[in-house]
Chain A
Amino acid sequence: MIGGLFIYNHKGEVLISRVYRDDIGRNAVDAFRVNVIHARQQVRSPVTNIARTSFFHVKRSNIWLAAVTKQNVNAAMVFEFLYKMCDVMTAYFGKISEENIKNNFVLIYELLDEILDFGYPQNSETGALKTFITQQGIKGQLQTKEEQSQITSQVTGQIGWRREGIKYRRNELFLDVLESVNLLMSPQGQVLSAHVSGRVVMKSYLSGMPECKFGMNDKIVIDKQGKGGASDDAGKSGKQSIAIDDCTFHQCVRLSKFDSERSISFIPPDGEYELMRYRTTKDIILPFRVIPLVREVGRTKLEVKVVIKSNFKPSLLAQKIEVRIPTPLNTSGVQVICMKGKAKYKASENAIVWKIKRMAGMKESQISAEIELLPTNDKKKWARPPISMNFEVPFAPSGLKVRYLKVFESKLNYSDHDVIKWVRYIGRSGIYETRC
């Protein structure tokens, strides 16, 4: 299991060092600094083996987190743990920066003591941790006996993510369907690969221990219902349903029930959390198409024309559109003309950045640029990185629709109708690239 955990700043100075196992010595701290942080090259592998000691490292802004072990550990678990550790730290004191870590080092040690025991990850739910790891140590004494046992049962219990006795005057819940569309398109407009990875994020402000049931237009479920129901209904819903390739759920969802009945039922944590993640590849609405045209005029000039077409209902508006057209390294000057928005050549990023604030559906816009090149005798060709795009659209490109979210709470007397529910769809660009 994990033998130790170190946190370094970008210079390689140790900010936090916690050793769990005897086989990890203080020298491991130095070994990692010398071999990885000071190596000054691109990281060639996230797992580094130095003198039979393995270092798992992730970098957050300019902070390095490294888990160290000498055993044959579960590698995926170690990385998941490191991400989780980052999440927990962010939940406690915001951004992970050198300053914040130094300011909270006592807290971090306390957290590390709690969520990692002898290298075995224990409960890492922020909600549960916050009940008993607070920055005021005195609180420990003020707790009554019931409170203490409640904490421990929550930490170890089946429903580690929710405590009892939560009360809200207004029972409310917010559902955000956040999708990111990933696309790789060939210069000829052929889709090489496209997928949507979506998340359903829920903010719940519900009293008691509510039992929730979540439904969406999953093809398998709809088809099943369609068989039993009227035939014309099946035809109609068949169009609207989507095929989900795969989905993963938050800890709270009963996986066995999903596996057998494909129904999503759970007791939600309080506050904001990610209910599920899913991935679809079929029938994706690609919100934008990028049509590039690159022409080399002689050896010192390049003409680029890029057309973007929006492909959704004209009543909807896409926002924060940004097209990034890479330019060769030996670019000396760029002239840009664009129909809409603003375009700028950023020499430091080697790209023309074209920004459009808003754009309605079924529209088209164009940019043309003349790129002057310095003559070079460099034989190596320019790699022509793909044109990438960022945007935000107010619908789900996968076509996912939330059909219902039912809330049942038997003990307290509020019913499904009393809960105020909000749903929002946001589609964002993931890696949305067109080769040119």
Chain B
Amino acid sequence: MTDSKYFTTTKKGEIFELKAELNSDKKEKKKEAVKKVIASMTVGKDVSALFPDVVNCMQTDNLELKKLVYLYLMNYAKSQPDMAIMAVNTFVKDCEDPNPLIRALAVRTMGCIRVDKITEYLCEPLRKCLKDEDPYVRKTAAVCVAKLHDINAQLVEDQGFLDTLKDLISDSNPMVVANAVAALSEIAESHPNSNLMDLNPQTMNKLLTALNECTEWGQIFILDCLANYTPRDDRESQSICERVTPRLSHANSAVVLSAVKVLMKFMEMLPKDLDYYGTLLKKLAPPLVTLLSAEPELQYVALRNINLIVQRRPEILKHEMKVFYVKYNDPIYVKLEKLDIMIRLASQANIAQVLAELKEYATEVDVDFVRKAVRAIGRCAIKVEQSAERCVSTLLDLIQTKVNYVVQEAIVVIKDIFRKYPNKYESVIATLCENLDSLDEPEARAAMIWIVGEYAERIDNADELLESFLEGFHDESTQVQLQLLTAIVKLFLKKPTETQELVQQVLSLATQDSDNPDLRDRGYIYWRLLSTDPVAAKEVVLAEKPLISEETDLIEPTLLEELICHIGTLASVYHKPPSAFDSDNPDLRDRGYIYWRLLSTDPVAAKEVVLAEKPLISEETDLIEPTLLEELICHIGTLASVYHKPPSAFVEGNHGVQHKGLPGSAGSHLSTPKQPASNISTMGKTKELSTDIRDKIVDLHKAGMGYKRIGKQLGEKISTVGAVIRKWKKHHTTANLPRSGPPHKILPRGVSLIMRTVRNHPKTTRGELMNQLKAAGTTVTKETVAKGTEHLHRIEGRMDGAMYCGILDQHFLPSVRELKMGQGWVFQHNNDPKHTAKATKEWLKKKHIKVLEWPSQSPNLNPIGNLWRELKIRVAR
């Protein structure tokens, strides 16, 4: 028998059976029972009721059984602190065992039992183990200090464990050193000001020696710790660098990345004219490139980090562009990151290749990736001035493909190119305008409107274009509304005569009909400006070079500026201004109010401030803020460097404090998340249960709870709970099942259309109906239309001729009448004896029903006959 049997779902009363087995005399049976308990624990069943029985099994000389019991203890000791005390004796005894493996096991497990009373008993054995003769026990004890500190920091300090731990840094065994370093680093983290890890040259020396000898993981701990050291002078930092560089050839990518972190940090101290500095830079590139041949998950981590490194020291990888070319089979997350780095590395020297690659990517399948590739082309144009022309023509090529999202993305980037190189590429505007209708995303629409407003005087039908946007003003997103407002004002200032009406319209739309404060504010600003001093407004345009109408930049949240201000927030993640996803945008409103106040109190000053020459946009659009970058460099290889956020942004503040629950907690209905996607409710129906509630119901059911209790706990009806569980039992899933059949081809309206037509003109052919439906917007085949049935009648008992006549009388004739078939129809039935009975024939004759002749023995004349056979066979089966 194999162990997988323990995972099978078991019946009720299992706990009692287990209890009996646990207390059995037979060793084998005991072990089996413990295994069952562990399996149930894994699945999520509550087996804490068995606590005393399991603990009783602890006194055993079977190591495997012992480990299983320990595992159970670690899980449930906290819920049964009083009972857990029962185990202490065994632990203390095990800590004295002659076998070092058992000593270590005991001290390791004891540290994982988070019960205050037990920690008291832990101190003495731990002290002994920290000084154990066996390195295996010492290294386990070192970690145990960190565990104990997590439970009771004060106790660790009072007992002087910290000093013992510091002594372990000088241990002869490298692994003990590594674990001691790891434990100390963790403890030091929770006491930011303490002088725990006082790294002096002596300890550094010890650590660097241990670095060469310990396991790969130990090397990571030591390197991560080294990164916190601040060398006294450049000599020292050079010598550390020299001793760390060999780690760059380690097979473990984490070791390599941690070494890179240390080197990046200490390089800061080195004078740049030093020969060694150059050598070091050269040495850094190959290992970073090698990281890209690791598994995709590691590649992702590496790429996120390379992204930072390239920003800090672009010279390291400037010749390595080729390795960042995207491969067709790369997972999407690797592709997107590679693209980012390609842009960062783009320079005049390699721009031709990069552009060719980007163009290739723009024809791929994944929408996000394609968009990013298009955007990248635009960023190249902004970054490398010499390539701008080529980039623009590439973008135009892409627009010609007419792939909707490519076009939209291209327009957004072309807007940025215009901002960087005003008056250089207006020739493309005509092409852009051709695609006006296909734009449906706010960002692209806003960009297009900006372009139209910006170059209004060059576009003959600018007013028409903008007017077309104005029609659905209230359906647009705020971003587009604001942009439209600005663009029309620009247009008005350029062509005042023809657009007076338009500007009136947009101002009233923005100020009176809109309930969006931002929009209203901006509307009023313009209104006041235009109505109080139209000459000044015009002068502004005339005085300045007519290229950039500064008004747009007044309130318009230029994407770039926004992104730089919001680095690290969701905005920089989405590459969209917060207003696109955050309806209540305080920044924008505040800015509006500032302008308003400024304009109403001191218009002259306002003009100076607002109309000041704007700097051109910078080359790199989404650089990480320098201070953040600095911090992230110190965290190379860690999670912070992957998220590009400081650790404080995602790490819980206090250690050892009870943490907030995650969504989906079993048992407590408070933390149940409501999944927005699954909560879409339709009228008249109650809300559909979210999948995780359904999962939870099943989990609880598996844990042996009844319908009633589950229902009470989750606040759902018993019948609902029952339904979910029944479905799970039958289909083994809680997800929505696929619908049971194809959806109706013809909408109810279409059906009534068919019925109406047929009723009024019974002789309409299927073809005609089909055409009629097509005109109404539904395309179906003839066969789909031709569905109309007469009444169905259930026959009881044996049927004879008389009965058949009765049926015909009662159902057949009304059917004919109902279908409004008039006179010109023929009845068809087969040669069944009752159909050919005298009574039937007479009846048909009497009613003047025309019957179609049916040659005997010829089902082939009636194709449906073949189907009946099939049906009969299936039914009989």
Contacts and interface: CB of A to CB of B under 8 A. Distances in A.
A173 to B, nearest CB: 20
Contact of A47 (B62, B66, B146, B642): B642
A46 B333 CA distance: 8
A251 B71 contact: no
B100 A72 contact: no
A137 B62 contact: yes
A35 B691 CA distance: 10
Contact of B290 (A23, A155, A248, A386): A248
A106 B68 contact: yes
Q: Looking at A38, A156, A246, which has the most chain B CB atoms within 10 Å of its CB? A: A156
Contact of B3 (A19, A43, A79, A103): A103
A259 interface: yes
A255 B217 contact: no
B664 A31 contact: yes
Interface stretch (A10-18, A362-370, A403-411): A10-18
Contact of B659 (A23, A81, A384): A23
A259 B249 contact: yes
A74 interface: yes
Contacts of B870: none
A250 B186 contact: no
B253 A80 contact: yes
Nearest to B243: A256
A76 B660 contact: no
Interface string B111-149: 110100000000000000000001111011001101100
Interface in A17-48: 17, 19-23, 25-31, 33-35, 38, 42-47
A26 B651 contact: no
B289 interface: yes
Nearest to B216: A251
B354 to A, nearest CB: 11
A103 B100 CA distance: 29
A113 interface: yes
Contacts of A139: 63
A106 B35 contact: yes
A54 interface: yes
B182 A138 contact: no
Contacts of B62: 137-138
Interface string B331-373: 1110000000000000000000100010010011100000000
B333 A44 contact: yes
Chain B contact-residue range equals: 35 or more
A124 B360 CA distance: 43
A152 interface: yes
B639 A193 contact: no
A53 B62 CA distance: 37
B329 A105 contact: no
Contacts of B256: 76, 248
A380 B404 CA distance: 9
Interface in A245-288: 245-251, 254-256, 258-259, 274, 276-277, 279
B656 A77 contact: no
A380 B406 CA distance: 11
Contacts of A259: 245-246, 249
A73 B322 contact: no
Contacts of A255: 212, 246-247, 249-250
Contacts of A384: 363
By CB atoms of chain A within 10 A, which of B42, B325, B655, B699 has the most?
Answer: B42
Interface in A54-80: 54, 56, 58, 69-77, 79-80
Nearest to B665: A27
A246 B3 contact: no
B201 interface: no
A132 B605 CA distance: 81
B150 interface: yes
B4 interface: yes
B482 interface: no
Contacts of B220: 74, 77
Contacts of A120: 143, 179, 182, 217, 221
A390 interface: no
A193 B661 contact: no
Main secondary structure of the interface of B (DSSP, over half): helix
Given A38-B735, A109-B71, A385-B328, A249 B639 contact: no
B327 A433 contact: yes
Contacts of A81: 217
B639 A72 contact: yes
Given A27-B664, A106-B68, A72 B99 contact: no
A245 to B, nearest CB: 5
Interface string B284-300: 00110110010111101
B207 interface: no
Interface string A148-163: 1101110111101000
A246 B659 contact: no
A112 B43 CA distance: 17
A433 B215 CA distance: 38
Contact of A248 (B176, B251, B258): B251
Given A54-B650, A109-B38, A34 B328 contact: no
B111 A53 contact: no
B180 to A, nearest CB: 11
B217 A51 contact: no
B101 interface: yes
A309 interface: no
Nearest to B247: A255
A49 interface: yes
Given A75-B642, A106-B68, A148 B99 contact: yes
Nearest to A138: B62
A121 interface: yes
A330 interface: no
Contact of A77 (B302, B637, B692): B637
A73 B68 CA distance: 28
B323 A193 contact: yes
B277 to A, nearest CB: 17
Given A46-B297, A74-B638, A256-B246, A14 B42 contact: yes
A34 B325 CA distance: 34
B805 to A, nearest CB: 54
B298 A76 contact: yes
A75 B639 contact: yes
Interface in B569-594: none
Contacts of B353: 192
A135 to B, nearest CB: 8
Interface in B360-398: 360, 363-365
A25 B70 CA distance: 19
Contacts of A435: 360
A304 to B, nearest CB: 17
A152 B141 CA distance: 14
A120 B181 CA distance: 11
Given A46-B296, A77-B254, A433-B327, A249 B403 contact: no
Given A33-B695, A34-B691, A74 B176 contact: no
A74 B637 CA distance: 5
Q: Which 4 A-B pairs have the closest CB atoms?
A: A137-B64, A27-B665, A246-B286, A30-B664
17 contacts: A14-B44, A44-B333, A51-B662, A71-B639, A75-B641, A77-B258, A122-B215, A122-B217, A143-B99, A148-B99, A153-B135, A193-B323, A248-B287, A259-B249, A279-B289, A386-B328, A433-B327
Interface of A: 1, 11-17, 19-23, 25-31, 33-35, 38, 42-47, 49-54, 56, 58, 69-77, 79-83, 99, 102-106, 109-110, 113, 117-118, 120-125, 132, 136-141, 143, 145, 148-149, 151-153, 155-158, 160, 184, 192-193, 195, 197, 245-251, 254-256, 258-259, 274, 276-277, 279, 379-381, 383-386, 388, 431, 433, 435
Given A27-B661, A245-B289, A259-B246, 6 more contacts: A72-B647, A74-B257, A74-B258, A137-B67, A153-B135, A383-B365
